Each structure stands twice: as structure tokens, then as C-alpha cells.
Amino acid sequence: MGLQTIDWKEASGILERFCLFVDHPEMRWFKKAWQGFVDVGKASYEDDVQKHWVLARAVTLGVMFMEFAEKAWDEKGDTESTLGELRWDDTFSLVRLGSMADVGCLSDDGDVSDLFVEAMDNLIYRCRLEVYDTLVKVFGDPAGLFMSLWFCLNEDIEVGQYSDEQAESALNFDETPQKHEAFDYVMKGMFGLDA
């Protein structure tokens, strides 16, 4: 097969399903993040198993963004429904995902959609640390990652490029409980309720 890459065009079709805001301003953040994954080789694969791990990283990225949005802006997404919608995307192979999932994480009596979500949940759990570590590299450090997320909805601010004043306001001012919770979420590795 040779080395291939899931580029932004292909990844964007997956990531746009995790958008929560009108006109999808968060796609700017997804694009910057995914380009970082491409740059460090986390979007490349040589066989179908590796390809599905790359796809799982993209889905994990989307899930982690939705979790951040809920903490930062009280914008709730339905992760299970979003994962269920991906079942119909012919990019994913249920057989492949099922073979990659940990033994015992799939129910014996679930329908195909339930099994798809269960397999994806398991792969997301297993990808979280790698996705987080890659995001920290892309954005410089955990504080840079937080700022990239915090400002991603403001289309006047380039993702990943912040003035000292913007950094100061993101990291030191406006200490609302929601901002504090979102900051802690990023600083502690962006692990969700399934961790």
C-alpha cells in the first residue's frame, strides 16, 4: 500500500460532524490541529489497521473539542449520536473497528449501530493520551492548547497566534467557574468522563 495520509479534506468531513456553532468557526481550530497531526506523522498510515487508528484520532479530536465546549461555553453536544452518525460513513469498517477494540468492550446483543459506538468509544479512550500529547506539540504547551481552544470561535484571532494581551486575558482574567473548569480540563490531559 505504501505510506498514505488522511489530509485535511478527508479529515474535515469527519470533524465537521463535531461542530456545535453556527457557521462552524471551530473548523479553523480543527484545521490547524489536523495540520499538526499531518506534520508529525499522526495522520499517515501504511495499512488498513493504521488507517483506522488515524480515523480514531480524528474522532477523538472531535470528541475532545465537544467536551471542552461543554465546559467552556456550556455548549452541549451529543457524542453518542454523533458517533452513531459516523456509522453510515463508508470511511469506517465496522469489522475492522470491532477487531481493533478491546475484548469485552462490545456487547453480545447490540445492534450494528450500538456495536459501532461501543467500538469507537473504546478506541477514543485508547487514543486520548496520544491525541492530547500531539495537540500540546502543535500548540506549544498546555497553556497554548487552552488558548487555541478558548479563542477558536473568534474569527478575528488567528488560531495559534496570540498577542501578549490576549494570552494575559485568556490565562489570567475572567476567572469564571466555567473558564476555570475548561482550563483544568486542558491542563489535566483532556480526559473525559470515560477515563
4-26 confidence digits (pLDDT tens) = 999 999 999 999 999 999 999 99
Per-residue model confidence (pLDDT) at position 26: 96
Least confident segment among 35-39, 52-56, 106-110? 106-110
Q: Compute the mean pLDDT over every residue in the chain, rounded to the nearest whole number.
A: 90
State the Rg of the chain over Cα: 17
If DSSP states are collapsed to H, E and C, what string results for 104-168?
Answer: CCCCCCCCHHHHHHHHHHHHHHHHHHHHHHHHHHHHCCHHHHHHHHHCCCCCCCCCCCCCHHHHH
What is the arithmetic mean of pLDDT over 154-158?
89
The DSSP code for 102 is: P
Q: Tens digits of per-residue pLDDT, 161-175?
A: 888 787 777 777 667
Q: How far apart are CA 175 and CA 181, in angstroms?
A: 10
- For the chain, first and last CA: distance in Å? 35
Percent of the chain residues past pLDDT 90, beyond the cut: 67
**pTM, to two decimals:** 0.92
Q: How far apart are CA 12 and CA 93, in angstroms?
A: 18
Per-residue model confidence (pLDDT) at position 192: 66
Number of DSSP helices (H) and strands (E) in the chain, helices first: 9, 2
What is the arithmetic mean of pLDDT over 50-65?
97
Per-residue model confidence (pLDDT) at position 17: 95
H/E segment holding residue 5? strand 4-5
Residue 111 pLDDT greater than 50, yes or no:
yes
Nearest to 18 by CA among 31, 6, 5, 7: 31
